[in-house]
Amino acid sequence: MKKLEDLINSKLSRRNVLKATAAVILSSAIPAYIRAENTSIDNEPKLLFSNNPFLTFKPIPPSDADELILPEGFKYDIIRMWGDKVNDSELYGTNNDFVAYFPINNKSDDGLLVVNHEFPSPLLSGNYTDADWVNKVIKTSEQIDAERKSVGISVFRVKRENNKWSFVNDEKFNKRIDANSEIVLTGKAANTPETFNTIIVRGTVANCSGGVTPWNTYLSGEENFQDYGGEEYYRWNDNGEKFIEEHYGWVVEVNPYDKNSVPKKRTSLGRFRHENVCIALTNDNHVVAYMGDDKVNECVYKFISKNKFYSGQDGFNSDLLDEGDLYVADFENGKWHLLDYEKQNVLKNNFKSQADVLLNCDKSSKLVGGTECNRPEDIEINPVDKNVYIAFTNNSLKKDYFGNIVCLKEKNGDYGSLEFEWDVLITGGEESGMSCPDNLTFDNSGNLWALTDISTGSLNKTRQLPFKNNSVFMIPTSGENKGKAFRFASGPVECEVCGGSFTPDGSTMFLSIQHPGENSPSLDKLTSHWPNGGDDIPRSTLVAMTGFK
Ligand code: FEO
Ligand code: CA
Ligand code: CA
Ligand code: CA
């Protein structure tokens, strides 16, 4: 069998430079990062898509200002910021990430928003730094409590009236799920020795991106769960309570329409650093979940349900995500490889059970032929061409500093297929003007919107200098501008732009501004005061951007 390196090198000799950069998404021994010669960034705003009123905007230049900048004709309304109330007794969390809109009565101006809160901000919530934590300075119970309550998931109602979006304090829906909430483990690893024969677990953490199901529930990926356990990083060490790592790193399902429903961790989808979930239906209506493991040299997965989806049987009890097969992507051969303990000797020889395989996807995936990738982040399906788009954000270990977005085409256009082809839509770097794509979303016309996450330590420095603050880009996926990135929004200082979800009518995009001022060394040396300005602490904030039509 040929080595991956040989296959990529032969591909490189056949393909043009843009396609050749596809190789850098794979963890291979490519000798050097390949990119085009042109290093200029087009700073000149110009009118685009004048034949398409829905998408007319003048791209904005990069900015390092401490503000959220949108093109002419667009505006944003602040919906919630960290510390605002979600209901009469609970607060909106910090570090908002994935956001999804669930319509009420099919409306695009009245619905529920469900928002992930990825990680706590020890400095801002309790004047307690990560350095204190590593040095085992014991926190007070107030500090621990504030952190536990600042993460998880928020659900609340919003309305648009007189061209302004606002929060609605609706006791029928509004709720918080946090690190203390009761959550049920379901699926193949639930109630097994690998999860300590547990069914009810405590809370959800590290909620990054996610997805929405056809049965109208919200899926949230538990990503960097490893930050909460272990000896050194024992974040919540009150009363000697152990953080049970095996209860985290799953996909959590939430029913926003039923306030009393208990969230479920769907263990059959595997346990890894879940960035997101993207749901599709096979040609014969089985449910497919595409997922990425956002860690250097980790894999892309898909789950195919055993049972079929039937429209009209909405509700949280469908449990389609509990039974089915998990596969890992092999970009070398264009194949999905099964991860099934009962059917594969290599798994039987290395693991104790299917639950063991699922808990250790980072190891089991490689044994069956999964390809090591450059940090798969978001995955989304284009509603027009139906292809699967994957953001590979970067991998400094492989000298990929700017990332790629890849287009995966399943054989026969069936999401249930076990073979695929792939190509590169856009390569990050100075030529394209975009760096480190993370969250993705599509508008109804099939344009891809990519939200960037250049890490705070690299922002506005050395090789990341030209890109300035993290931004929202619009990238056409067809026509003469296919694969070009047009900057639509620029976020405040040291933020990551996250979320990015349109209302069904395409008139509004919800956007999370996460961790502005993230590198502030102390409360009297804040690097951002967004959005309130003055002396206020920087606050992760959810906004609604309008002006699309
Ligand atoms: Fe939480 Fe992979 O971003
Ligand atoms: Ca992300
Ligand atoms: Ca990221
Ligand atoms: Ca993040």
State the average pLDDT over residues 300-306: 97
Hey, whose CA ends up nearest to atom 1 of ligand 1? 208
295 backbone φψ class: left, alpha, beta (φ>0; ψ -120 to 50): beta
Count the Cβ atoms, other than its own, within 10 Å of residue 397: 11
Ligand 1 neighbours, Cβ below 6 Å, are 118, 208, 223, 275, 294, 377, 438
How many whole angstroms from 441 Cα to the centroid of ligand 1?
A: 15
Q: What is the pLDDT of residues 91-142, one digit of tens each?
A: 999 999 999 999 999 999 999 999 999 999 989 988 887 777 667 677 777 8
Confidence of residue 315 (pLDDT cuts 50, 70, 90): low
> What are the strands of the beta sheet with 75-81, ordered from one edge?
75-81, 541-546, 508-514, 496-502
Higher per-residue confidence, 22 vs 544? 544
State the average pLDDT over residues 498-526: 96
Q: What DSSP string runs through 29-92?
A: --SS----S------------TT-GGG--PPPPP--SSS-B--TT-EEEEEEETTSBSSSS-B-
Residue with tokens 């090198």: 9
Q: What is the pLDDT of residues 33-72, one digit of tens each?
A: 222 223 333 444 344 444 454 457 889 999 999 999 999 9
Whether residue 120 is contained in a domain is answered as: yes
How many whole angstroms from 537 Cα to the centroid of ligand 4?
A: 19
Rounded-to-10 torsion of CA 476, 478, 481, 484: 50
State the average pLDDT over residues 267-278: 98
Across the chain, mean pLDDT equals: 88
Residue with tokens 């209860």: 247
Whether residue 3 is contained in a domain is answered as: no
How many whole angstroms from 351 Cα to the centroid of ligand 4?
A: 32
Which of 22-31, 180-189, 193-202 is predicted with the least confidence, judged by mean pLDDT? 22-31
**Whether residue 227 has pLDDT greater than 60:** yes
Whether residue 268 is contained in a domain is answered as: yes
User: What was the pLDDT predicted at 49?
Assistant: 47
Whether residue 444 is contained in a domain is answered as: no
Query: What is the position in ligand 1's atom list of the atom closest to the CA of 97?
Result: 1
CA–CA distance, 471 with 460 (Å, rounded to integer): 13
Residues 390 and 448: beta-carbon distance below 8 Å: no
Q: Which two tokens stand for residue 463?
A: 């090789």
**Whether residue 12 has pLDDT greater than 70:** no
Ligand nearest to the CA of 223: 1
Whether residue 253 is contained in a domain is answered as: yes
User: What was the pLDDT predicted at 6?
Assistant: 37
Higher per-residue confidence, 309 vs 317? 309
Query: What is the position in ligand 1's atom list of the atom closest to the CA of 377?
Result: 2
**Whether residue 440 has pLDDT greater than 70:** yes
CA–CA distance, 488 with 313 (Å, rounded to integer): 39
How many whole angstroms from 437 Cα to the centroid of ligand 1?
A: 11
pLDDT more than 70, % of the chain = 86
Catalogue the E-assigned strands of 376-495. Answer: 376-381, 388-392, 404-410, 420-427, 437-442, 448-452, 471-475, 486-490
User: What was the pLDDT predicted at 122?
Assistant: 86
**Whether residue 517 has pLDDT greater than 70:** yes
Pairing of strands 496-502, 541-546: unpaired
191 DSSP assignment: T
Residues 501 and 439: beta-carbon distance below 8 Å: no
- Tell me the three state secondary structure of residue 405: strand
CA–CA distance, 445 with 462 (Å, rounded to integer): 36
Amino acid at 219: L
Q: How many domains does the chain have?
A: 1
Whether residue 289 is contained in a domain is answered as: yes
User: What was the pLDDT predicted at 145?
Assistant: 85
User: What was the pLDDT predicted at 229?
Assistant: 73
Which of 8-12, 299-303, 428-432, 514-518 is predicted with the least confidence, judged by mean pLDDT? 8-12
Q: What is the pLDDT of residues 378-395, one digit of tens each?
A: 999 999 999 999 999 999
CA–CA distance, 301 with 366 (Å, rounded to integer): 12
Whether residue 5 is contained in a domain is answered as: no
Query: What is the position in ligand 1's atom list of the atom closest to the CA of 275?
Result: 2
Residues 267 and 358: beta-carbon distance below 8 Å: yes
Query: What is the position in ligand 1's atom list of the atom closest to the CA of 375?
Result: 2
Beta-bridge partner residues of 471: 490
Which residues lie closer than 8 Å to 305 by C-beta, 6 or more apart? 286, 287, 288, 320, 321, 323, 324
CA–CA distance, 315 with 203 (Å, rounded to integer): 22
Ligand nearest to the CA of 439: 2
Distance between first and last Cα of the chain: 54
User: What was the pLDDT predicted at 135?
Assistant: 73
Number of H helices, E strands in the chain: 8, 30
**Whether residue 21 has pLDDT greater than 80:** no
Higher per-residue confidence, 199 vs 146? 199
118 DSSP assignment: -
pLDDT more than 90, % of the chain = 78
- Tell me the three state secondary structure of residue 370: coil
Nearest to 225 by CA among 176, 175, 279, 265: 265
User: What was the pLDDT predicted at 56?
Assistant: 76
Range of the domain at 279: 73-375+394-402+411-429+457-464+491-546
State the average pLDDT over residues 164-188: 97
How many whole angstroms from 161 Cα to the centroid of ligand 3?
A: 34
For 326-357, b/e burial (b = at least 16 CB within 10 A) is bbbbbbbbbbbbebbbeebeebeeebebbbbb
Helices assigned H by DSSP within 96-243: 122-126, 130-134, 141-150
Whether residue 17 is contained in a domain is answered as: no
How many whole angstroms from 246 Cα to the centroid of ligand 4?
A: 22
Q: What is the pLDDT of residues 323-380, one digit of tens each?
A: 999 999 999 999 999 999 999 999 999 999 999 999 999 999 999 999 999 999 999 9
